[in-house]
Structures are given as C-alpha cells and as structure tokens.
Chain A
Amino acid sequence: MTQVNPPEIESPDKWEAQMRKGCLEMAVLASLWHGRLYGLEILRVLERDSSLVLAEGTIYPILNRLRAEGLVQSQWVEAEAGHPRKYYELTQSGRDRATRMAETWTQFSAALGSLIEPVLKDRKVEQPL
C-alpha cells in the first residue's frame, strides 16, 4: 500500500516572521510619528509598542534605506551623555507614506477581522474549561 505524505505546511513561525517583516517599514515610520528618535530608542519603541524585536544591527541599514528614499531625515545631536547621537525624523513624504500605510492596514485588518471572527469564536467553544 502506498503511503501518501501530507503536503508540507509552512510553519506558523515562518508565516509570522513574513508577516512581521511586511509590517516593519510601517512600524518604523510610525515609531517616529511623535518626533525624532535615535536608533536604540526606535528599537525600544518597536519592542514596547508592537512586539517587533529586530536583531540589533538590522535597524540601522533599514533607517539608511528609508533616508535614501527620502522618508526620514537624520541629524547628529550632541547628547547629555557626552557622545553624539544620530536622530531620525519623518519627512513630509514619510508622514504621507505612514498615513497611507496605516489606513491600508486598518481597512485590511477590519475586513479580515470579520472573516476570522468565527475561527476564534469556535476555538473558544472547543477549548475545555
């Protein structure tokens, strides 16, 4: 008798990593919405407010790319700690992009929410008390 192997299913971890990666640019732009931050602060905000935790060195090439695209601008500022910090802030183009991304995300999330609501509802019923 021939044994049929089930099709390979992408692991939830991989799917989640892809989803997080897709949101990263929006999250970085949103972290700068209230004002300028330097790299380490952006890492902290992402971790605190969105559970997006990047490998530490990754944030700097991303910020460099966003700067090259004209979405953020940077400035070295002498800090009280005695060494300068490179602060990033949104340009007008960056604010526009962040706004568009946030609107798209909200609409998409709301639309998908109604679709997946029964999945979560049924799961609650199935789970033993």
Chain B
Amino acid sequence: MTPEIQVNDYLARLRASLTGMTVAEREDIVEEIHMHIRERSSDSRTSVETVLAGLGPADDLAQQYRTGLLVQQARTSLSPVVILRAALRWAATGVEGFIVFVIALIGYMMGVSFLLLALIKPFFPRNTGLWVGPDQFNFSFRLGATMTNPASPVHEVLGWWLIPVCLVVGSLSLALTTKLLQFLMGRFHWKVPFASTAQARSAMMAL
C-alpha cells in the first residue's frame, strides 16, 4: 500500500466516524488532520506509518472529537435527548459515567411518567389518580375499576387536581434532572492519552 493510499484510507475512516456534526465541521477536522500528516511526513526521516501511529486509530480520534462536542453541547443544552446521549457516551468510559446515566434515566422517566398521567387523566378519569390505602400511596394508571369500588380500602384522593399536580411534579423532575446533569457534565473527566516518556521523547525529537 503506497503512503498516499494509506493516508487517504485513514482520512476516509476518520470522515466516516465523525458523526453528529455538520459537513463543514467534519471537513474542517479532516483537513486539519490531513495537513498534520502532510507536514509531519514531509521530513524524510519520518514515515507515514509513524505519523499515523502517532495519531492513533482513526475511530479513536473521531470518538475524542465526538465526545468532546457532545459533552460541550450537553452542558448548555436543555434537550433531554442531547443530555441522555452525552450521559450514555460518558457511561461507556467507566463506573462514574454509568451512575450519571442511571440518574439521568430515572429522572427523565419519572418526569415523563407524571406528564403522561396528567395527559391521560381526561381520557381515563376513573383509572388515573393518586391511590391511597392502608398500605398504599401511589400515583398510577390502573386498568379496570376495581380500586374505585367504595368498599375497597384503597381510594383515589386527588380527583381532577391530579392534572396540575402531575404537570408541576413532572416539569420539576425534568428541570431538576437537566440542571443536575448539566452540573455533573462539568465534572466529566477527559481521557487524555499522554505518550509514555520514552516514546514521547523519541517522537518529539522527530518533530
């Protein structure tokens, strides 16, 4: 494989892995890496193989870009989708990220569940409510009407007040989860590969 084909192959893999960004952003990154390879390999002592090895696998390099941009977006975005995607990417890096992802999942699921209860109450008024009994206190949607039987010790207490209560609690859950996740994203630890001292010195001598 000629050096030119090796470089083109590397850049094609990088381009294909740089997802989740505009074409202009992607081409800007590919061009910068292309110029780096060109400049480093213009020295006759440095082979293209050495330069590409120094850059690391194209997929890994692309992932560093993707993770960086995603976490950056998540710190300022209000979109649960963006925040959940960033949390999922973080979860892939270790236990801390996994815990953050679980918090995000629980927080958002709770928020969405409350909002759904508020939405379905007008359509299923007898089956949706806050059910209270001797051993029970829960918001839920129940199939069938057995729980609303006057003889049952479990009964619904909120009535139509369920709608504003669920709207407020659901919105608060979504907002608080978003704020907490944005705060936690600030603690994201960047995986920065340092070269080992011996490798580094020989690599930098060749620069």
Contact = CB atoms under 8 A, between A and B. Distances in A.
Nearest to B58: A57
B192 A60 contact: no
A42 B28 CA distance: 18
Contact of B204 (A47, A65, A69): A47
A17 interface: yes
Contacts of A56: 36, 40, 51, 54-56, 195, 203
A85 B35 CA distance: 7
Given A39-B36, A54-B193, A68-B69, A61 B64 contact: yes
A3 B133 CA distance: 56
B197 interface: yes
A58 interface: yes
A58 B200 contact: no
A64 B204 contact: no
B96 to A, nearest CB: 14
Interface in A41-73: 43-44, 47, 52-58, 60-62, 64-65, 68-69
A68 B75 CA distance: 12
B123 interface: no
Nearest to B56: A57
Interface in B19-53: 28-29, 31-33, 35-36, 38-40, 42, 51
Categorize the interface residue count of chain B: 20 to 34
A86 B192 contact: no
A101 interface: no
A61 B14 CA distance: 13
B18 to A, nearest CB: 11
Contact of B61 (A61, A81, A85): A61
Contacts of B32: 39, 60, 86
Contacts of A86: 28, 31-32, 35
Given A44-B204, A86-B35, 20 more contacts: A17-B194, A52-B194, A53-B197, A53-B204, A54-B195, A55-B193, A55-B194, A56-B51, A56-B54, A57-B56, A57-B64, A58-B192, A60-B32, A61-B61, A61-B64, A61-B68, A62-B190, A69-B72, A81-B42, A85-B35
Interface of A: 17, 20-21, 24, 39-40, 43-44, 47, 52-58, 60-62, 64-65, 68-69, 81, 83-86
Interface of B: 28-29, 31-33, 35-36, 38-40, 42, 51, 54-56, 60-61, 64-65, 68-69, 72, 189-190, 192-195, 197, 200-201, 203-204, 207
24 contacts: A24-B192, A39-B32, A40-B39, A40-B207, A43-B204, A47-B204, A47-B207, A53-B197, A53-B203, A55-B193, A55-B195, A56-B195, A58-B193, A60-B33, A60-B36, A61-B65, A64-B29, A65-B68, A65-B72, A69-B72, A83-B35, A84-B35, A86-B28, A86-B31
